[in-house]
Amino acid sequence: MSSCLPTIVARNTMMDVKTDSVILPLVARNVQTHDAALDASNSEGADFIIHTTRGDCHPKELVSSVSGNVKIPIFIMVDSLTGGISHNKSSDLLRSGASGVVVSVDELKLLREDDLS
């Protein structure tokens, strides 16, 4: 069982640390379902959503069903660009309404320049 810090608590904690800063903290909410994405956007005040893919989930369907109902960016986190999700699938996700794909720095190191285009 994983715990999740409520969005408002995370934002207030970061604001308390940097009271003299002009930089505002961005708070993301990691979601796995359509309802959680809507709650993060509409009720919790998240600045953007990160949808973490699982073996049996369909991120394209989640993005296309949620993107019309939220006004914040939706990013898809993938385990592996080289094995789990192809470059074509990444492009499909972006066309379906995702704002971007989140990968680890190690994954980025494995990509060639033409993969990034």
Q: How far is CA 82 from CA 65, 107, 108, 115, in A?
A: 26, 8, 10, 10
- At 30, list the tokens: 């990691």
Q: Kindly give the confidence (pLDDT) of every residue in the chain, 117 residues in length, as a single tens digit, with 9 standing for 90 and above.
A: 345 667 777 777 776 666 666 677 788 888 888 888 888 888 888 889 988 766 556 677 778 778 778 888 999 887 665 554 556 677 777 888 888 888 778 877 776 666 555
Query: What is the per-residue burial (b if ≥16 Cβ within 10 Å, else e) of 15-45?
Result: eeeeeeeeeeeebbbbbeeeebbbebbeebe
Give the model's pLDDT for residue 87: 62
- pTM assigned to the model: 0.70
Give the model's pLDDT for residue 116: 58
Give the model's pLDDT for residue 1: 35
Report the sign of the C-alpha dihedral through residues 24, 72, 62, 34, in that order: positive
**Residue 98 in domain:** yes
**Residue 43 in domain:** yes
Give the model's pLDDT for residue 27: 85
**Residue 106 in domain:** yes
Bridge-based pairing state of the strands 28-31 and 100-102: unpaired
The CATH code of the domain that includes 33 is 3.20.20.390
Helices (H) and strands (E) in the chain, counts: 6, 4
Per the structure, the count of domains in the chain is 1
